[in-house]
Every structure is written in structure tokens, then in C-alpha cells.
């Protein structure tokens, strides 16, 4: 028998750097500060809420758009934090995580030949998602070093074919947070256009004082053209549950749901009911900035004793560092090779920022994740002190 030949639809897509580095970290018994997931448990109350839903028989298909109580809880949260009210019935959809949400948005919005502006460095699914939809990714670099948006370059990238722009704040991988002035500039830039905004806000509850998260939903001119994406997995330390949501105007949500219903159809029922109950108390997400700021400060204080050059960590749970001043032969390695060396020889895994650029742009910067137990961070810092 002969297996029929299969031509790849996506010749440029390979295994993600996160999979590669996590596998290497396991092989070398390294501290994994590469992939962005916590190594500590979620609130036991959340597990109890989900368990209660299961034991009370809430285990069959929920509505395609999500459990009504959870959609209401999301609408209430957004209104409380950002002073914008979405209709829970027609404008909130529960998704199988933020990655599925972003793919479904792009499939709903982008047609063959449409252009989508992507600000690099960016989360690694954006450009493959655009490719899957038959669109054209137009890559605009954030300012190297500071990772601030360059609005002159963004404006120059807009053409009659521009269908959407993807914005991510707090930003993965750089940990920068957009300012009010930047959000207002974006609103002004998009005002005369028909461009759809895809606002990736999965780290919305991880912004550190004196800064605050500025959701696109807080700006009327952006909210009316935006898909807002967020993640319960990131917020409540349950990344493996793969559950998030999309908030968007009713007409946008209707188109999104056409894809969603034939993509995943619906999302884990008891988890939805558990989250709806857990969200009645806002303290777990309101306390999150202080929780992660303490981990950030612990990690930064330790890194300050090394030859890494620390970049700001304004939001998310990532810390980027420059590797050019290490004073060892390994400083001359590419970012990717340095991360492999660091994992194999020092016992700490990181992610090269070049992995977040389609062309592999290398600026001597790597990313660590500090969403870890304090003892995990101290173990990593002890190893990094050898550099």
C-alpha cells in the first residue's frame, strides 16, 4: 500500500519555539521560565465551583455562545472596570481560549487578499492565522528597544486593502503597556477607515502601578470597531482549561459566531458554570497586579545581580533582558542558540525574542516568565548567578 502524497498548505509553519524549549527544558531538567504558564495551583474555591457544577449534573452541551450566567458575569466585569456595557446575549461569546478566539475572529473577518497589520514582535499564532484565512500579514515593527508603537509606520502601512489591525496590550513578549495617549492616537488613526481592531487583552489584570490597563472598550471610537479578547486561563492560573471570551458589537459577534459554531461549537460546561460562580467575587482578579508585582520584583532584584540588562516589565508576567553585555563567549550566540545553551548548560529555559518576528529579527533580547513559585524563581536565579 502507498500513502497518498500530501502537499503542505503551510510550508512555513513548523513546531513552535515554546514546544521546542519546553521539551529541551524537560530533557535537561532545567527550570522552565520559557513557556508562559504558572507552576502553582489556582484558587481552591475555583476548583470547588467547577466540581460543584459537575456533581450537580451540569455536564451536557451549553448554549453555543456560552452559559448565560458567565456571559452576564463578563459583561458586568467589563462595565465595572472599563465603563462600557456589552449586551451579554448578543455581544459576549465564551471561547476555547484566546488562541481559538483570535483564529475565529480572523476567519470571520479576513477574506482572500485582505491585509492585516501586525505589530512585531507578536504572539506566534497571529501570522499563521492570517495565512489560514488567505489574508496578507503586513508586519510593522514596534520601536526596537522600547517596543512602543510607531504610528507613522502604522499609518504608512494602511492601504485600501487593510481589513484589520491586531493590537496586544499588555504586550507579549515585551511586557509593555500602551498609554492613554497611544490608545487615543490609534482611535484617531482608525476613525476615518473601515479597519477592524482585534484587541488581544489576555494579560489585562497584570498591569503594575502606577500604570493601569486601558482596554479598547474604554474608548468609544475603538469599542465600536473592536473584537476584545481575554483569557480566564491567564487570569485564574488555569491555562490548561483553555477558556476565554470575545466581546464585540452585535454585528461583529454574529459573524464571529458563524465561525465559532463550526469550529469548536461550544466550551466545557462545568468550567463555565464554575467560573460564573467564582466571578461573583472580583477580589481574585483585582488582587492580581499586587500578586504578580511581588514576583516581578523578586525576579528583577535577583537579575540585577547578574550581567543581564533588564528591560521594563510594565505588564503581563514576562521579563525581557539584553544578553549583549554578559562578557562570556556565549553572548555572541544568536538569541535562539543562546536560549538553547542557557537551558543545556546553565539549567534555565528562556525564549528568544526573534521567535516573535516572522523574519527572525535578532536584537540580543530574550524573555523569561516569572509566573512561578518563589522557590522556582530563586532556584533559577541561583543558576543564572553563574553568568
When computed from its CA atoms, the radius of gyration of the chain, rounded to whole angstroms, is 21
User: Could you report the per-residue pLDDT of 262-280, keeping only the tens digit for each?
Assistant: 999 999 999 999 999 999 9
Characterize 79-116 residue by residue with b for buried, 16 or more Cβ atoms within 10 angstroms of its Cβ, and e for exposed: eebbebebebebbbbbbbbbbbbbbbbbbbbbeeebbb
Domain that holds residue 318: 17-42+286-384
Q: Rounded to a whole number, what is the largest CA-CA distance in the chain?
A: 66
Whether the CB-CB separation of 198 and 166 falls below 8 Å is answered with yes
DSSP character for 312? P
222 occurs within a structural domain: yes
Paired with 167 in beta bridges are 199
The answer to whether position 8 is within a domain reads no
Query: Per residue in 208-236, pLDDT tens?
Result: 999 999 999 999 999 999 999 999 999 99
Total tally of structural domains belonging to the chain: 2
Q: Are residues 38 and 50 in the same domain?
A: no
Sign of the four-CA dihedral 95, 20, 129, 201:
positive
The reply to whether 219 and 301 lie within a common domain is no
Pair 120, 357: CB distance under 8 Å = yes
Mark whether 217 and 277 lie in a shared domain: yes
Query: pTM of whole model > 0.75?
Result: yes
Mean pLDDT of the chain: 95
Closest CA to 165 of 198, 187, 134, 131: 198
Query: Binning pLDDT at 50, 70 and 90, where does residue 328 land?
Result: low
Q: Report the pLDDT averaged over residues 284-301.
A: 97
372 part of a folded domain: yes
| Pair 315, 171 in one domain | no
As a dihedral over the C-alpha atoms of residue 78, residue 122, residue 23, residue 366, rounded to 10 degrees, the angle is -110
pLDDT at 305 over 80: yes
Which residue from 356, 302, 379, 310 is spatially nearest to 25, judged by alpha carbons?
Answer: 379
On whether both 37 and 59 belong to a single domain, the answer is no
Q: 253 and 292 in one domain?
A: no
Q: What is the CATH number of the domain that holds 55?
A: 3.40.640.10
Residue 320 is part of a domain; what is its CATH number? 3.90.1150.10
Q: Which residue has the higher pLDDT, 10 or 217?
A: 217
| Domain final residue, candidates 257, 282, 307 | 282
**pLDDT over threshold 80, residue 330:** no
Nearest to 203 by CA among 248, 228, 240, 168: 168
The reply to whether 4 falls in a domain is no
Amino acid at each position: 500500500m502507498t500513502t497518498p502524497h500530501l502537499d503542505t498548505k503551510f510550508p512555513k509553519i513548523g513546531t513552535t519555539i515554546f514546544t521546542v524549549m519546553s521539551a529541551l527544558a524537560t530533557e535537561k531538567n532545567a527550570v522552565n521560565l520559557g513557556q508562559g504558564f504558572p507552576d502553582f495551583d489556582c484558587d481552591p474555591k475555583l476548583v470547588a465551583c467547577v466540581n460543584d457544577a459537575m456533581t450537580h449534573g451540569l455536564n451536557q452541551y451549553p448554549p453555543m455562545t456560552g452559559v448565560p450566567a458567565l456571559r452576564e458575569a463578563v459583561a458586568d466585569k467589563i462595565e465595572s472596570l472599563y465603563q462600557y456595557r456589552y449586551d451579554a446575549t448578543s455581544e459576549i461569546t465564551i471561547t476555547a481560549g484566546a488562541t481559538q478566539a483570535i483564529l475565529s475572529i480572523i476567519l470571520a473577518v479576513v477574506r482572500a487578499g485582505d491585509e492585516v497589520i501586525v505589530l512585531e514582535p507578536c504572539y506566534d499564532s497571529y501570522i499563521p492565522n492570517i495565512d489560514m484565512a488567505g489574508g496578507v500579514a503586513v508586519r510593522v515593527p514596534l520601536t526596537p528597544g522600547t517596543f512602543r508603537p510607531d504610528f507613522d509606520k502604522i499609518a504608512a502601512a494602511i492601504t485600501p486593502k487593510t481589513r484589520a489591525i491586531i493590537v496586544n496590550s499588555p504586550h507579549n513578549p515585551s511586557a509593555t503597556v500602551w498609554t492613554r495617549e497611544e490608545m487615543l492616537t490609534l482611535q484617531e488613526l482608525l476613525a476615518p477607515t473601515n479597519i477592524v481592531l482585534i484587541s488581544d487583552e489576555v494579560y489585562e489584570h497584570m498591569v503594575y502601578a502606577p500604570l493601569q490597563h486601558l482596554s479598547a472598550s474604554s474608548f468609544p471610537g475603538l469599542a465600536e470597531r473592536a473584537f476584545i479578547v481575554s483569557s480566564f486561563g491567564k487570569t485564574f492560573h488555569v491555562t490548561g482549561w483553555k477558556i476565554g471570551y470575545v466581546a464585540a458589537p452585535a454585528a461583529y459577534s454574529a459573524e464571529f459566531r458563524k465561525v465559532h459554531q463550526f469550529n469548536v461549537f461550544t466550551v466545557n460546561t462545568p468550567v463555565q458554570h464554575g467560573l460564573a460562580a467564582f466571578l461573583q467575587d472580583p477580589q481574585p482578579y483585582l488582587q492580581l497586579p499586587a500578586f504578580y508585582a511581588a514576583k516581578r520584583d523578586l525576579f528583577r532584584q535577583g537579575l540585577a545581580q547578574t550581567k543581564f540588562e533588564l528591560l521594563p516589565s510594565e505588564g503581563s508576567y514576562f521579563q525581557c533582558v539584553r544578553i549583549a553585555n554578559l562578557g562570556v563567549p556565549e553572548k555572541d550566540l544568536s538569541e535562539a542558540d543562546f536560549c538553547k545553551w542557557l537551558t543545556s548548560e546553565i539549567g534555565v529555559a528562556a525564549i528568544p525574542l526573534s521567535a516573535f518576528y516572522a523574519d527572525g529579527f535578532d536584537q540580543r533580547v530574550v524573555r523569561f516568565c516569572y509566573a512561578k513559585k518563589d522557590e522556582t524563581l530563586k532556584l533559577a536565579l541561583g543558576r543564572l548567578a553563574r553568568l
